[in-house]
């Protein structure tokens, strides 16, 4: 019962469609998990099911021992689930600072802590969301999720479509968040080799099922297995 997140026999999808096939998964306090798999494997569906924006068919999700399976997304957020969606979804007509403070909750992460993590956001604090580069939008999406002071941070392909120099900057920030700050996180990523060095555990999804669960280190040390599981 000491798990932060415990998912049992979860089947979720979209209306009648069942995308996830009886997922069992648990994450301890302070642990980070790389969620890997080919395009269409169900990674976003699993993240969105933890957030509460898919159709639930079967199974349970517990956060710190509390059954949150039937809670609405905003109720789950209030209990500590922070989400950086694949589409980023920042408020385009609000400034950077307004984006950060819009859904803030008290805790370790406030505006100044986020600006320390992402100095670029401080420089852009008075710019509107729609004036930001892709990398700045992604930093803002991460910063906004941190402002919720979550117990669990969910990141859906945070490096997607970003220039290499920005990828390195974001990876350095994510490393600080999950290793130094010890925030529990699930990170979806196509570039497995970039993310596995940051995470403790890894799972590979295939057609909505868990094809492999291993430590991140074990998977990194077995590139042939990794390539076989992730090859298109």
Q: Which residues bind ligand ADP (CB under 6 A)?
A: 14, 17, 19, 37, 39-45
Minimum CB distance to Mg ion, residue 36 (Å): 11
34 closest CA partner among 206, 148, 205, 229: 205
**DSSP 8-state class, residue 95:** B
Residue 32 binds: one of ligand ADP, Mg ion, none (C-beta under 5 to 8 A by kind):
none
Helices and strands (H and E) in the chain: how many:
10, 11
Residues that bind Mg ion (CB under 5 A): 43-44
Residue 18 or 225: the one with the smaller Cβ distance to ligand ADP is 18
Minimum CB distance to Mg ion, residue 126 (Å): 32
Longest dimension (CA), the chain: 48
Minimum CB distance to ligand ADP, residue 62 (Å): 22
Residue 95 or 190: the one with the smaller Cβ distance to ligand ADP is 190
13 three-state secondary structure: strand
Token output for 194: 């970039």
Residue 42 binds: one of ligand ADP, Mg ion, none (C-beta under 5 to 8 A by kind):
ligand ADP
Residue 126 binds: one of ligand ADP, Mg ion, none (C-beta under 5 to 8 A by kind):
none
Chain residue whose CB lies nearest Mg ion: 44
Residue 56 or 64: the one with the smaller Cβ distance to ligand ADP is 56
Residue 17 binds: one of Mg ion, ligand ADP, none (C-beta under 5 to 8 A by kind):
ligand ADP
DSSP string over 134-183 = HHHHHHHHHHHHHHT--SEEEEESTTTT--HHHHHHHHHHHHIIIIIS--
**DSSP 8-state class, residue 163:** -
Please state, in angstroms and rounded to a whole number, the distance separating the CA atoms of residues 109 and 106. Answer: 8
Token output for 51: 């957030």
User: Which residues are registered as beta bridge partners of 210?
Assistant: 205
Residue 78 binds: one of Mg ion, ligand ADP, none (C-beta under 5 to 8 A by kind):
none
Residue 42 or 150: the one with the smaller Cβ distance to ligand ADP is 42
Minimum CB distance to Mg ion, residue 156 (Å): 6
Residue 158 binds: one of ligand ADP, Mg ion, none (C-beta under 5 to 8 A by kind):
none
Number of Cβ within 10 Å of residue 211's Cβ equals 16
Token output for 26: 């648990």
């Amino acid at each position: 019962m000491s798990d932060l997140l415990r998912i049992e026999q979860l089947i979720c999808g979209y209306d009648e469609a069942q995308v996830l096939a009886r997922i069992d998964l648990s994450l301890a306090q302070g642990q980070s998990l790389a969620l890997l798999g080919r395009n269409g494997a169900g990674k976003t569906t699993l993240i969105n099911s933890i957030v509460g924006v898919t159709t639930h068919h079967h199974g349970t999700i517990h956060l710190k021992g509390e059954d949150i399976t039937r809670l609405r997304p905003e109720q789950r957020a209030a209990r500590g689930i922070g989400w950086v969606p694949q589409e980023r979804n920042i408020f385009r007509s609000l400034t950077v600072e307004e984006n950060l403070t819009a859904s803030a909750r008290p805790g370790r992460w406030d505006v100044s802590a986020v600006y320390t993590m992402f100095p670029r956001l401080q420089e852009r604090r008075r710019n509107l969301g729609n004036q930001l580069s892709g990398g700045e939008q992604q930093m803002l999406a991460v910063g906004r999720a941190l402002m919720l002071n979550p117990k669990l941070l969910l990141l859906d392909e945070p490096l997607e479509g970003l220039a290499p120099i920005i990828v390195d900057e974001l990876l350095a920030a994510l490393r600080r968040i999950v290793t130094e700050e010890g925030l529990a996180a699930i990170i979806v990523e196509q570039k497995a080799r970039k993310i596995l060095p940051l995470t403790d555990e890894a799972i590979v999804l295939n057609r909505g099922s868990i094809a492999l669960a291993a430590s991140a280190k074990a998977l990194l040390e077995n590139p042939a297995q990794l390539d076989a599981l992730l090859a298109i």
